[in-house]
Amino acid sequence: MATKRKTGPSADRYTYRLAWSAKDAEFIATVVEFPSLSWIADSREAALLGLTSVVEEVLQDMLAGGEEIPAPWDERTFSGKFNLRLGSELHKKVALEAAERRESMNTYVIKQLGLIDA
């Protein structure tokens, strides 16, 4: 009887970013779920391919070592809430500005972040 092999997410399911580095005169690939990893190459394609290969190796090593593998960003769930510490003076200022606009603090902050039209 064959034993079932444990598998994790494919490296292709993670969130990659590509950027040009004027300093290095090359492209830099990064991956959100593994912030310590990056790959530099002379083309976008090579940077992405190189980093995807490294992520695949890291995933295999983590599986072999029994480590917890981070979920791909798009598969994570979010509650829609987060706590924000402002300090008492800034809290007072935000509350006053929201009250003057007859808005909740939540609506005021979302507008200030540019997430909805003012």
The CATH code of the domain that includes 67 is 3.30.160
| pTM, 2 dp | 0.71
User: Are residue 56 and residue 88 in the same domain, yes or no?
Assistant: no
Determine the pLDDT at residue 116. Answer: 75
User: Are residue 35 and residue 50 in the same domain, yes or no?
Assistant: yes
Is the Cα dihedral 29, 36, 55, 7 positive or negative?
Answer: negative
The whole-number mean pLDDT for each consecutive block of 10 residues of the chain, a chain of 118 residues, reads 59 97 97 97 98 97 95 93 90 94 93 81
User: Are residue 27 and residue 68 in the same domain, yes or no?
Assistant: yes
User: Are residue 26 and residue 56 in the same domain, yes or no?
Assistant: yes
Residue 101 β-bridge partners: none
Range of the domain at 31: 12-74
Determine the pLDDT at residue 118. Answer: 60
* Separation of alpha carbons 5 and 24, rounded Å: 41
User: Are residue 56 and residue 70 in the same domain, yes or no?
Assistant: yes
Determine the pLDDT at residue 4. Answer: 40
